[in-house]
């Protein structure tokens, strides 16, 4: 247990929120994409967060210290969401099917914007936690001066 | 215990350790503010410290020790994703904890200054 534990946890939070931000950017950029390498319309990407116990140093594990109280966050998966494509009638579109419908990704840009703000706020919260750790550690160095 | 550091200094040291634990637990809550199913944790700092002082053992306490209870926060709301972290509350805890950590540090520094004064001026 030291300041580095807290800082590593905050860093994991920042990484996770940044990956989420990338997924959101990708969703907004591809709101009208009808072709993908996998075939079909673009599918909205969603990141999956999971709480993982903070990794211990070798020495601490050797000393039998088990600690499940401090969890870092990890992106375990970036997967397409379950929503199917949105069919729009547009017979002149090159990707239209026989009936004249085009499969568009079912992405609500407003929803993505809200997610983006949430990711940004969470990132800031992690930055303040990290700065607080740093300030506390710096003042601890000053003991006895 | 014949020691230049009295019980108050030891208690302040233990206080710093608990504050650090609380800080790390709060950081963990903030990092996991969006993790589905994550339960917010709290360290009952005052209770833990008073128990440590009562037992007379205020030595530096590693995490995972039974004296520190890290429990689910009973006051947190449960959202759709069963996450119970209240980000505003965590930020408040973080700020409060940091200020009190620095207060304990200031007290330790005063103790050290007194000790130093005794060492330098006492022999004259």
- In DSSP terms, which residues pair with A78 in a beta bridge? A47
B115 touches chain A (CB under 8 A): no
Alpha-carbon distance A108 to A103, whole Å?
Answer: 15
How many C-beta atoms lie closer than 10 Å to residue A127's C-beta?
16
pLDDT digits (tens, 9 = 90+) for A10-34: 999 999 999 999 999 999 999 999 9
Does the pLDDT value for residue B55 go beyond 60?
yes
DSSP state for residue A52 in the 8-state scheme: E
Alpha-carbon distance B88 to A61, whole Å?
Answer: 34
Own/partner contacts of B69-73, CB < 8 Å, gap of 24 or more, are: B69/B43, B69/B44, B70/A69, B70/B25, B70/B41, B70/B42, B70/B43, B71/B41, B71/B42, B71/B44, B72/B39, B72/B40, B72/B41, B72/B42, B73/B39, B73/B40, B73/B41, B73/B42
Picking from B30, B33, B109, the nearest residue to A143 by CB comes out as B109
Q: For residue B80, what are its two tokens?
A: 């759709």
pLDDT at res. B63 = 42
Which residues of A fall below an 8 Å CB-CB distance to B? 1-3, 5-7, 9-10, 12-13, 16-17, 20, 49-51, 54, 65-67, 69-73, 118, 121-122, 125-126, 128-130, 132-133, 135-136, 139-140, 142-145
Picking from B21, B31, B109, the nearest residue to A9 by CB comes out as B31
pLDDT at res. B62 = 44
B69 touches chain A (CB under 8 A): no
The mean of the pLDDT values for chain B is 80
CB contact under 8 A, B24 and A5: yes
Q: For residue A95, what are its two tokens?
A: 């990707």
- SS3 (DSSP) at B113: helix
| pLDDT confidence bin for A104, thresholds 50/70/90 | very high
Does the pLDDT value for residue B73 go beyond 80?
no
Does the pLDDT value for residue B88 go beyond 70?
yes
| pLDDT confidence bin for A119, thresholds 50/70/90 | very high
Asked whether this complex has an ipTM greater than 0.90, the answer is: no
CB contact under 8 A, A132 and B109: no
Does the pLDDT value for residue B19 go beyond 50?
yes
Q: Which residues of A89-114 are buried (b: 16+ CB within 10 A; e: fewer)?
A: eeeeeeebeeeebbbbbbbeeeebee
Does the pLDDT value for residue B3 go beyond 80?
no
* Residue pairs between chains A and B whose CB atoms are closer than 8 Å: 117
| pLDDT confidence bin for B50, thresholds 50/70/90 | confident
Share of residues in chain B with pLDDT > 90 (%): 23
Q: Which residues of B touch A139 (CB under 8 A)?
A: 101-102, 105
Mean pLDDT along residues B6-17: 83
pLDDT at res. A52 = 85
What's the sign of the alpha-carbon dihedral A33, A38, A39, A41?
negative
Looking at per-residue pLDDT, the higher value among B59 and A8 belongs to: A8
The structure's pTM equals 0.82
Alpha-carbon distance A26 to A31, whole Å?
Answer: 9
Does the pLDDT value for residue B77 go beyond 80?
no
B62 to chain A: nearest residue by CA?
A1
pLDDT at res. A70 = 82
Q: Which residues of A touch B25 (CB under 8 A)?
A: 69-70
Mean pLDDT along residues B62-70: 52
pLDDT digits (tens, 9 = 90+) for A40-91: 899 999 999 999 887 666 776 666 565 667 888 999 999 998 888 889 999 9
Does the pLDDT value for residue B64 go beyond 50?
no
Picking from B27, B38, B95, the nearest residue to A6 by CB comes out as B27
pLDDT at res. B67 = 53
In the block, tokens 């589905």 appear at B36
Q: Which residues of A touch B63 (CB under 8 A)?
A: 1, 65, 67, 69-70
């Amino acid at each position: 247990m030291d300041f580095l534990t807290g800082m590593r946890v905050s860093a994991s939070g920042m990484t996770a929120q940044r990956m989420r931000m990338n997924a959101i950017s990708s969703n907004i950029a591809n709101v009208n994409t009808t072709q993908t390498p996998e075939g079909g319309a673009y599918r909205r990407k969603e990141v999956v967060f999971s709480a993982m116990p903070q990794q211990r140093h070798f020495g601490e594990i050797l000393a039998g210290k088990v600690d499940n109280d401090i969890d870092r966050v990890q992106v375990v998966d970036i997967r397409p969401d379950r929503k199917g494509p949105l069919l729009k009638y547009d017979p002149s579109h090159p990707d239209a099917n026989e009936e004249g419908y085009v499969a568009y990704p079912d992405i609500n840009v407003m929803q993505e914007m809200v997610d983006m703000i949430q990711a940004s706020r969470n990132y800031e919260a992690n930055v303040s936690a990290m700065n607080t750790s740093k300030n506390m550690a710096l003042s601890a160095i000053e003991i006895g001066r | 215990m014949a020691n230049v550091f009295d019980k108050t200094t030891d208690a302040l040291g233990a206080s710093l350790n608990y504050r650090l634990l609380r800080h790390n637990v709060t950081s963990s809550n903030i990092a996991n503010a969006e993790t589905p199913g994550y339960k917010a944790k709290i360290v009952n700092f005052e209770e833990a410290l008073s128990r440590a002082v009562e037992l007379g053992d205020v030595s530096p306490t590693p995490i995972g020790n039974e004296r520190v209870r890290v429990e689910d926060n009973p006051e947190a709301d449960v959202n759709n994703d069963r996450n119970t972290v209240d980000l505003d509350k965590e930020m408040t805890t973080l700020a409060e904890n940091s200020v009190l950590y620095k207060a304990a540090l200031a007290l330790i520094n005063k103790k050290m200054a007194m000790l130093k004064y005794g060492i330098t001026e006492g022999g004259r």
